Structure 1
């Protein structure tokens, strides 16, 4: 059955690293451009892995973006022009105030499209994304390919021993893995750490 949504709605694109979230977000932004829907594009200010002022997918697709640190900065940018939609990349790095702003914008008739990780490197719910998933009218969950077994990957495995939640990285720091290979990887890291401690003693 064809479903017709109201103007204000929330769309969430999620999945592990290397699953094509930014690529999908860029595709939807372009569709809005073709439809002449003026869209504010946002990414976290501290995320400068590939560019300071662009969202760049791993396939090379890119689009200019505004940087923001918090809800107030996003709200200020949105108020400057007659935007009808907003797209936010790496939304998991923003806090609850941005979640509240997203809901307010959707309630006011704005189309909101966000992309971000739904779980962190330990497979725990990540930031505001779980709440967004429950509030969204449309959810797309993407998969990568597990680097170990080549099955569908649903998790982001951190290869290095760093417990920071906001650790930016790419293939040097992370791998896409299925649930089983992620569990094995964490077990091996724990075992290696125990062995290293024994050697130090």
Structure 2
């Protein structure tokens, strides 16, 4: 794909299958072709021709993403990573803090708090789950400002049941 006469490759984690397998899709239904990867290192194998590398949901690609981004940048690629810098508890969501520390440019985009309408920098999980990563779209999370965010809030009526272990 080409944008502004530059060859662009977009990557997203395979774990993110919310809208489309072969595209990034925004909440407003805008689409851009992308390639799914299970591990950050896979990006290196597919990025040779591109001048610009876009990576969505960087928080789901693990610690290797930092070295992959460093390698791409050292090879003259422009690397753009989007991702959450905090998890649903408000704690740093690796590897994003490390990427923020080495980034040349940072744009932090805020949402609008679904409770009060102020700028929101937190993600409130609306369902109970013991898992740190729960990929989902509408109904699982909502944007919250610092005042309205409550990392201890639980809603048992929407609790996601854990699968029962299979005994052999």
The TM tier, using the shorter chain, reads 0.7 to 0.9
Q: Distance in 2 between matches of 1:147 and 1:158?
A: 12
* TM-superposition CA deviations, 1:108-132 (whole Å, max 9, x none): 2110001000000000000110011
For residues 166 and 132 of structure 1, do their structure 2 counterparts lie closer, same or farther at Cα, with a shift above 3 Å needed?
Answer: same
Q: Alpha carbon RMSD of aligned pairs, Å?
A: 1.9
- 1:88 corresponding residue in structure 2: 55
Structure 1: gaps of 5 or more residues: 1-28, 194-201
CA contact (8 A) 1:94 1:127 kept: no
Q: CA deviation at 1:188?
A: 4.6
Q: Is 1:158 matched with 2:125?
A: yes
Distance 1:112 1:137 in 2: 10
TM-score normalized by structure 2?
0.87
1:189 Cα deviation (Å)? 2.9
Partner of 2:106: 139
- C-alpha distance in 1, partners of 2:132/2:153? 20
DSSP-derived class of the 1:70 partner: coil
Q: Residues of 2 paired with 1:95 and 1:132: CA distance? A: 11
Structure 1 pair 151/94, CA: closer, same or farther in 2 (3 Å)? same
Counterpart position of 2:17: 48
- Higher-helix-fraction structure: 1
Q: Secondary structure at the match of 1:71?
A: coil
Q: Unpaired segments of 5 or more residues in structure 2?
A: 158-168
Measure the CA separation in 1 of the matches of 2:65 and 2:96.
11
SS at match of 2:134: coil
Output the TM-score relative to the length of structure 1: 0.73
Structure of greater Rg: 1
Q: What are the superposed Cα offsets for residues 132-159 of structure 1, whole Å, 9 maximum, x if unpaired?
A: 1111111001111111111111100001
**Alignment partner of 1:121 is 2:88:** yes
| Residue in 1 that maps onto 2:145 | 178
SS of structure 2 residue aligned to 1:63: strand
Number of equivalent positions: 157
User: What CA distance in whole angstroms lies between the structure 1 residues aligned with 2:70 and 2:41?
Assistant: 14
Q: State the shift of 1:83 in Å.
A: 1.5
Shift of 1:72: 2.9
